[in-house]
C-alpha cells in the first residue's frame, strides 16, 4: 500500500495565494449552521486572515426570504465571491438562489456554474470536486479508466462524475440504495469515496492495483477520520489518498484560489 498526499498541491496553492494580492471580498453565508458548517467556515476565516483577504461573515436570520437573500448578495460587487455553507439549515427555496445569484460563485452553486462544469469547465466545479479532479488529472491518465464514486450530491458526486466523464473516464455513481456496491467498487480502477461514515470500507472491498481517493471526513473524538479503514488495507498493493493530508486539507485553499481571476 502506498499512501499518497496533497502536500505539493498545498504548497503550490499557498504560494499562489501569497503572491497574488486579492482585492475582492468573500461572503461567507450561513443559515442555521451545523457544527460542521461552522468548523469549515472557521478554516476559511483563518486562511483569509493568513492571506489578507477581506471577508464578510453573514448569518441570515430564520425568517428571511429567498428574494431578500438574493438582494443582499447581489448588492456586492460582481467580482466579490460567495459561498453558501450547505445544508444551509435545509432552506426550502434553493432553486431561487441557484437561479438568481449573480456575483462570483466560488463553490459551483448556481445553475450557471452547474451547467458549465457539466460541459467540462473545471473552474466552475465546487471546491471539493475541483480539488479531486485536479489531483487526478495531474497524476493519472483517465482515458478508459473505470471510476466509481460513492456520493451523489450536487456538491461532490454529480459534478465530479460529469467532469470526469468529459475527461474520458467511465464513471459509475453509487447511492444509498445501491445493492451491489462491493462489486462495483472491487471492479473499479479508481474509487472516490465521500459518504462520511468513518472506517466504513474494509479490505474486502478492494484489490491490488487500485487507486483510492478518500474524501470522507467524520469527526471521532475530535479527530477527522476517513471512509476507508486504510489500516486494514496494508497487505494490498494499491495507492490511497487518505483523509489526512488529502483533499480536505486543500479544499479551503482551492475555494480561495477561485477568487483569483
Ligand X SMILES: Nc1nc(=O)c2c([nH]1)NC[C@@H]1CN(c3ccc(C(=O)N[C@@H](CCC(=O)O)C(=O)O)cc3)C=[N+]21
CB of 204 to ligand X, least distance (A): 27
Q: Which residue's CB is nearer to ligand X, number 113 or number 128?
A: 128
> Alpha-carbon distance 251 to 246, whole Å?
9
Q: Which residue's CB is nearer to ligand X, number 146 or number 153?
A: 153
CB of 4 to ligand X, least distance (A): 15
Which residues, including other chains, have CB under 8 Å from residue 230's CB and lie 6 or more apart?
Answer: 1, 3, 212, 214, 240, 242
161: alpha, beta or left? (left if phi > 0; alpha if psi -120 to 50): alpha
Q: Which residue's CB is nearer to ligand X, number 85 or number 205?
A: 85
Q: What is the dihedral of CA 214, 217, 218, 224, to 10 degrees?
A: 100
> Alpha-carbon distance 230 to 245, whole Å?
14
Beta-bridge partner residues of 92: none
- The residue nearest ligand X at its CB is 248
C-alpha radius of gyration, the chain, whole number: 18
> Alpha-carbon distance 193 to 153, whole Å?
12
Q: Which residue's CB is nearer to ligand X, number 85 or number 201?
A: 85
Q: Which residues bind ligand X (CB under 6 A)?
A: 36-37, 40, 43, 47, 83-86, 107, 127-128, 155, 217, 224, 248-249, 251-252
Q: Which residue's CB is nearer to ligand X, number 185 or number 226?
A: 226
Q: Which residue's CB is nearer to ligand X, number 4 or number 236?
A: 4
Asked if the peptide bond before residue 84 counts as cis, ω within 30 degrees of 0, the response is no
Residue 220 — φ and ψ, nearest 5°?
-125, 120
> Alpha-carbon distance 92 to 254, whole Å?
28
CB of 124 to ligand X, least distance (A): 14
CB of 161 to ligand X, least distance (A): 17
Pairing mode, strands 239-241 and 2-4? parallel
Q: Which residue's CB is nearer to ligand X, number 30 or number 210?
A: 30
CB of 172 to ligand X, least distance (A): 23
CB of 153 to ligand X, least distance (A): 10
CB of 6 to ligand X, least distance (A): 10
Amino acid at each position: 500500500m502506498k499512501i499518497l498526499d496533497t502536500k505539493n498541491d498545498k504548497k503550490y496553492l499557498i504560494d499562489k495565494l501569497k503572491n497574488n494580492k486579492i482585492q475582492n471580498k468573500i461572503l461567507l453565508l450561513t443559515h442555521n449552521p451545523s457544527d460542521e458548517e461552522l468548523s469549515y467556515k472557521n478554516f476559511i476565516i483563518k486562511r483569509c486572515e493568513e492571506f489578507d483577504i477581506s471577508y464578510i461573515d453573514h448569518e441570515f436570520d430564520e425568517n428571511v426570504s429567498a428574494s431578500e437573500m438574493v438582494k443582499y448578495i447581489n448588492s456586492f460587487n460582481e467580482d466579490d465571491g460567495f459561498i453558501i455553507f450547505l445544508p444551509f439549515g435545509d432552506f426550502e427555496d434553493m432553486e431561487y438562489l441557484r437561479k438568481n445569484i449573480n456575483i462570483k460563485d466560488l463553490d459551483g452553486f448556481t445553475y450557471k456554474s452547474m451547467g458549465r462544469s457539466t460541459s467540462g469547465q473545471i473552474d466552475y466545479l465546487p471546491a471539493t470536486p475541483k480539488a479531486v479532479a485536479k489531483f487526478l488529472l495531474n497524476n493519472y491518465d483517465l482515458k478508459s479508466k473505470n471510476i466509481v464514486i460513492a456520493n451523489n450530491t450536487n456538491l461532490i458526486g454529480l459534478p465530479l462524475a460529469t467532469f470526469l466523464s468529459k475527461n474520458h473516464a467511465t464513471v459509475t455513481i453509487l447511492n444509498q440504495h445501491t445493492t451491489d456496491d462491493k462489486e462495483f467498487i472491487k471492479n473499479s480502477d479508481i474509487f472516490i469515496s465521500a459518504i462520511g461514515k468513518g472506517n466504513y470500507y474494509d479490505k474486502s472491498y478492494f484489490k491490488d492495483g487500485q487507486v483510492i481517493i478518500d474524501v470522507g471526513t467524520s469527526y471521532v473524538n475530535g479527530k477527522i477520520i476517513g471512509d476507508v479503514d486504510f489500516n486494514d488495507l496494508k497487505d494490498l498493493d494499491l495507492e490511497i489518498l487518505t483523509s489526512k493530508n488529502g483533499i480536505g486539507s486543500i479544499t479551503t485553499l482551492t475555494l480561495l484560489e477561485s477568487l483569483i481571476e
